[in-house]
Amino acid sequence: MDARLRRVNKEISDCKNDKTSQIKIELFDESPFHLKGSFPGPEGTPYEGGLFEVDIVIPDSYPFQPVKMKFITKVYHPNVSSASGAICLDILKDAWSPVLTLKSTLISLQSLLCSPEPNDPQDAEVAKHYMTSKSSFEETATYWTQIYAGGPGPKEKKGKGVGGKGVQDEVAIAGLERAHVDRFETLGFERSKVIDALRRLNYRGPNIAQITDDRVVEELLK
């Protein structure tokens, strides 16, 4: 049997038998080389309680070349693209070793969620948010976990069944303060545009003092 196929099959069945790691690997369709992995968000992080799905493509020269992975679930994290789910992680590139498995790689992703590397970002805007105000970043990440990954949401609102999936707060998704958005909206700008501009400017935490209203308006008029 083809060594690659044997290895992938073994990896999938190993994962099935392993009940402790909570990591799942399933087939998308018939192909054993396009898989869907999933793992729960690590405890004690804004991702706790969410279930994160990963798109896995096994290249022809696997395991000698690294697997291709990206998040299906939207994640608010400096090393994950908030738009495409692309992941910046060394073992998916040059630090790959053939002894790494799908499971161990997924575990690495899980631990990447625990320890962001904002200095080597995949998503610069998210990384800036993280660097400016960690607490505000964590709020947004928690909110994303809640609406995209089925997480429980912010702690104080736990159990209240906030919002539900239908109602999504654009301001919270962008990691901004409602008061700020409202203020510029009253100047006569469209709400979505205000959110966009403030996000680009990283209008958060201590940064706010440094960004004049004129600068915001300028960005809005662009």
Give the residue numbers annotated as catalytic, written as ranges.
88
Please, which residue, 99 or 221, has the CB nearer to another protein?
99
Do residues 51 and 38 make contact, with C-beta atoms less than 8 angstroms apart?
yes
Stretch that binds another protein, among 93-101, 137-145, 190-198, 213-221 (CB under 8 A): 93-101
> Is residue 84 within the footprint of another protein (CB under 8 A)?
no
Tell the residue number behind the tokens 């804004």, with chain if given.
Answer: 46
Q: CB of residue 207 vs another protein: minimum separation in angstroms? A: 37
N-to-C CA span, the chain: 59
Contact residues for 56 (Cβ-Cβ < 8 A; gap 6+): 25, 34, 35, 36, 37, 67, 68, 69, 102
Report the nearest approach of another protein to the CB of residue 222 (Å).
22
CB of 90 to another protein, least distance (A): 11
Bridge partners (DSSP) of residue 51 are 40
Tokens encoding 8 = 């992938």
- Quickly list DSSP for 65-95: SPPEEEESS---BTTB-TTT-BB--GGGTTT
Which C-beta is closer to another protein: that of 90 or that of 170? 90
The interface region with another protein, picked from 56-64, 72-80, 164-172, 184-192 by CB under 8 A, is 56-64
Pick from 22, 31, 84, 97 the residue near another protein by CB under 8 A: 97
Among the listed ranges 92-100, 112-120, 123-131, 136-144, the one in contact with another protein (CB under 8 A) is: 92-100
C-alpha of 46 from chain center = 11
Footprint of another protein on this chain (CB under 8 A)?
3, 6-7, 10, 61, 63-65, 91, 97-100
